[in-house]
Amino acid sequence: MKLYGIPNCNTVKKARVWLDENNIEHSFHNFKKDGIDEVTISNWLTQQPWEKLVNRAGMTWRKLEDEVKESITDNSSACALMMEKTSVIKRPILEKDGQVMSLGFKEEIYQELFA
């Protein structure tokens, strides 16, 4: 199982603590340090719409020029943006065997997943 995110994100911190406290074995993929590849994002886009994977409520999205925001209209343009600006990806993403288990962190959802 792999948790994707950035280490200084509060939501990612909560997810990591929850997984650790519940003895859920996982590895951490740091977008800032490790980046992300097109194959991984494309796989996610087969499971989740780009509108959920791109965090349009976050600061990275809000700081984008309007023309850039308006150009994100499909999987291809969203994938390119997520590869260029990894901070725009909704986080954390919990993945197991290539399957997205959860976007973001809600304790209730993690409890259900690991019940």
pLDDT tens by residue, the chain, 115 residues? 999 999 999 999 999 999 999 999 999 999 989 999 999 999 999 999 999 999 999 999 999 999 999 999 999 999 999 999 999 999 999 999 999 999 999 999 999 999 8
Q: Residue 95 belongs to what domain range?
A: 2-113
Q: Report whether 6 contacts 30 (CB < 8 A).
A: yes
Total structural domains within the chain: 1
Residues 113/102, Cβ–Cβ less than 8 Å: yes
Q: Which residues are catalytic?
A: 9
The model's pTM is 0.92
Residue 61 belongs to domain with CATH number: 3.40.30.10
